[in-house]
Amino acid sequence: MRRAAVFDVDGTLVDTNHLHVVAWWEAFRQAGHRITAHAVHRAVGLGSADLVTHLLGEARAEGEAAHLSSAHKVLYAEYFERLTALPGAGRLLRRLAEDGWRVVLATSAAGDELSALRRAIDADDAITATASADDVTEGKPAPEPVERALELAGVAAERAVFVGDTVWDMRAGRHAGVRCVALLCGGIPRADLEEAGADAVFQDPAHLLRALPHSPLA
Cα(103)–Cα(153) distance, integer angstroms? 8
pLDDT band at 46 (very low <50, low <70, confident <90, very high): very high
**Half-sphere exposure of residue 19: CA atoms within 13 angstroms, side-chain side:** 19
pLDDT tens for each residue of 150-182? 999 999 999 999 999 999 999 999 999 999 999
Cα(28)–Cα(214) distance, integer angstroms? 43
Query: Beta-strand (E) ranges in the chain?
Result: 3-7, 101-106, 127-131, 160-164, 179-183, 200-202
pLDDT tens for each residue of 115-160? 999 999 999 999 999 999 899 999 999 999 999 999 999 999 999 9
Burial 94-130 (b: 16+ CB within 10 A, else e): bbbbeeebbbbbbbbbeeebbebbbebbebeebbbbb
pLDDT tens for each residue of 58-67? 999 989 999 9
Cα(135)–Cα(133) distance, integer angstroms? 5
Closest to 123 (Cα-Cα) out of 108, 110, 104, 140: 104
Rg (CA), the chain: 16
Q: Tell me the Ramachandran region of residue 55: left when phi exceeds 0, alpha when psi lies from -120 to 50, beta otherwise.
A: alpha
pLDDT band at 10 (very low <50, low <70, confident <90, very high): very high
